[in-house]
Structure 1
């Protein structure tokens, strides 16, 4: 492959990781934070608002980190894998609350 093709593929992968992986990571973070805050006796709507407000910052940091990190593979692993783990943990917390 030519250098420009590799560079374009790298940029496209980082954009996809930043948008899709960042979304998955943020979704898991928000779901887990709402579940944990509600389990800690915070009102649901207050926990929801706090989770979404902090989630906005989490998405921004995840998106920017996807371009700053040295390894695209690590970015995908942390963002998509971390999002999946937090979503699973949120599911367990919500099942425990009910």
Structure 2
């Protein structure tokens, strides 16, 4: 592969990490936050609104971080792994509430 091709693959992977990994991370964050806030006796719709507002800021932050981080592997690990862990934790919290 030429340097130009590797550069394009690297850029495409960064974009995918920012979009897909950022989405997974943010989805896990929002689900966990809503579950924790509801468990703390906040009204569900208030917790949902706060979760979505903060989720927008989190997505913007992780999307920008995906392009500024040195290691692409670390970006994928943090975003996909963190999203999976937070989604699992949110599932446990929500299961305890029901």
TM-score of the aligned structures, taking structure 2 as reference length: 0.99
CA distance in 2, matches of 1:61, 1:3: 29
Runs of 4+ in structure 1 off by over 2 angstroms are none
Can you give the 5+ residue segments of structure 1 that lack an aligned partner in the other structure? none
> Partners of 2:9 and 2:74 in 1: how far apart?
16
Which residue is equivalent to 1:10? Answer: 10
Distance 1:64 1:11 in 2: 13
Structure 2 Cα separation of the partners of residues 70 and 79 of structure 1: 14
Kindly report the root-mean-square deviation, in angstroms, between the aligned alpha carbons of the 2 structures.
0.4
TM norm structure 1: 0.99
Separation in structure 2 between the aligned mates of residue 73 and residue 8 of structure 1, nearest angstrom: 16
**5 Å matches for 1:1-98?**
1-98=1-98
Shift of 1:43: 0.3
Q: How many matched pairs?
A: 98
Secondary structure of the residue that 1:42 maps to in structure 2? coil
CA–CA separation in structure 2 for the residues paired with 1:39 and 1:66 = 32
**Which sections of structure 2, spanning at least 5 residues, go unmatched?**
none
Could you tell me how far 1:24 is from its partner in structure 2? 0.1
